[in-house]
Amino acid sequence: MLFPAPPAPVFPPDQSANVEGSLRYEDCAQDGRLMPIALPPSMGGLWRTVIAKHPGARNSVASGVIPILTRMTLTTLDQPIRIDRPIEARCGFLLAHDLEGDEVSRLFMNVWSDVHGIAGRIGPRQVEGVLSRAGTLFAEHTFTRLFARPDQRKVTKLEVDGYPLVPETRYAAPPPKTAQEAPAGATWLDELAADAVDTVFSLDQTDANQHVNSLVYIRTFLDAAQRRIAATGRSMKLRSKAVDIAYRKPCFAGDRVTAQLRLFSLDDGIGAAGLMVGDDGKPRCYVRVLFGP
């Protein structure tokens, strides 16, 4: 992956699935390459067919302990795929813990998804290709007592049937602020500065979780990054190739956010990294994106 993320493990049989899905026209660029923002919906099949039926997951939710999305790392490849053919998402999840000293500090449900599509693209000469890998997702979910008092939300044990008390796997979760750092080998091109355009969310940007949808922050930051790149006079024949986003605090309809970002160069690509800030000056998320030809 273009931004660091743990490799997919060998999943237990009851924690993985291969799920068929479909693409929308906006999910691929004009040359057939997949957009990073098209990857997160591939997790839906895993949630519907595996996680929702898993006894540990059902008992955990019933007890008020819920895995909340806290980070996503998305990478797409240069392999073009056909949007008029089904895709296959090869997904799985694994529970993990982190430590602070010798003590368990947090528990996680980590999800991986590899998206495969039929090689090729729509055009006058349509050739039926083979099923080919087009993108990879890693999604960190942190267990929390979402509706408890703030001092009671932290979860360090899963005291439900179907899940281990403390998962065996250790996951050293990177600090959220690492998602505003330039990747290894990159060079900063300018200083951190606010985008000229603020965003005020409406109900159109919310979802059934009662807050602004997680993909909206990516779209908003991509828009800000593209404005900054266009202002440099560079060619805009670019495609987002990778996204790394760490979520800190939800937004709601009526909230205003501003992207603060700076550009970096990496090999033949250009990227942007920074954060989305609310009117209170507190970060809503940290984001970095990489564009390439």
For the stretch 171-196, pLDDT in tens is 999 999 999 999 999 999 999 999 99
Give the 3-state secondary structure of residue 96.
strand
Report which residue type is found at 226: Q
Q: What is the pLDDT of residue 126?
A: 67
Alpha-carbon span 99 to 53, nearest angstrom: 29
Query: Residues 1-41: pLDDT tens digits?
Result: 689 999 999 999 899 999 999 999 999 999 999 999 999 99
> What pairing do the DSSP bridges indicate for beta strands 103-118 and 187-188?
unpaired
| Cβ neighbours of residue 124 closer than 8 Å, sequence gap 6 or more | none
| Cβ neighbours of residue 279 closer than 8 Å, sequence gap 6 or more | 255, 256
Give the 3-state secondary structure of residue 5.
coil
Question: pLDDT confidence of 283, banded at 50, 70, 90?
Answer: very high
Question: pLDDT confidence of 87, banded at 50, 70, 90?
Answer: very high
Alpha-carbon span 55 to 139, nearest angstrom: 21
Question: Would you say residue 215 has pLDDT above 90?
Answer: yes
Share of the chain above pLDDT 70, in %: 98
Alpha-carbon span 183 to 269, nearest angstrom: 12
* pLDDT, averaged across the chain: 95
Question: Is the torsion defined by CA of 24, 138, 133, 271 positive or negative?
Answer: positive
Angle ∠(250,253,259) on CA atoms, nearest 5: 60
Query: Residues 38-65: pLDDT tens digits?
Result: 999 999 999 999 999 999 999 999 999 9
Residue 37 has which token pair?
């923002």
